[in-house]
Amino acid sequence: MSYFAEIDASGIVKRVIVANQKFINSGKVGHPKNWVETSYETHEGVHKLGGIPLRKNYAGIGYTYDKTRDAFIPPKPYGSWVLSEEKCVYEPPVPFPTIPEGMTARWNEAKVGWDVMILDW
């Protein structure tokens, strides 16, 4: 069994199911051309079990399938973030800071940087 993502005419993922290729080809869940195989084990272009990565990222609802890159790309979280061509994920223009234990950081789009704060347990 494999994972398949249903994509619309714009390449947006509508749902992800577990099926085999024969079932997808049967047309029982819509036209087979609307389904693209995805790998649960693939993230940022790496297969976490050492296998061959498939389409850069596991598809999720709202992701975009880019035919040119043959990749699933998550939604852009902030306007200032840029797409990593290698990983096909959006990354902040400022790297995540090194923070002391007991603190965390949150992206602040207004200042295009990270706010470091104390964890509030």
What does the pLDDT look like over 80-105, one tens digit per residue? 999 999 999 999 999 999 999 999 99
Give the structural domain span for 63.
Answer: 2-75
Query: Could you tell me the pTM of the whole model?
Result: 0.90
Span 26-60, pLDDT tens digits: 999 999 999 999 999 999 999 999 999 999 999 99
Residue 103 falls inside a structural domain: no
Residue 104 falls inside a structural domain: no
Residue 89 falls inside a structural domain: no
Amino acid at 83: L
Reported confidence tier of residue 121, pLDDT bands at 50, 70, 90:
low
Residue 25 falls inside a structural domain: yes
Residue 35 falls inside a structural domain: yes
Residue 94 falls inside a structural domain: no
What span, in angstroms and rounded, lies between the C-alpha atoms of 59 and 121? 33
How many other CB atoms are found less than 10 A from the CB of residue 110?
A: 6
Residue 67 falls inside a structural domain: yes
What span, in angstroms and rounded, lies between the C-alpha atoms of 75 and 96? 19
- The tally of domains found in the chain comes to 1
Instruction: Decide if 53 contacts 47 (C-beta within 8 A).
Output: yes
Residue 97 falls inside a structural domain: no
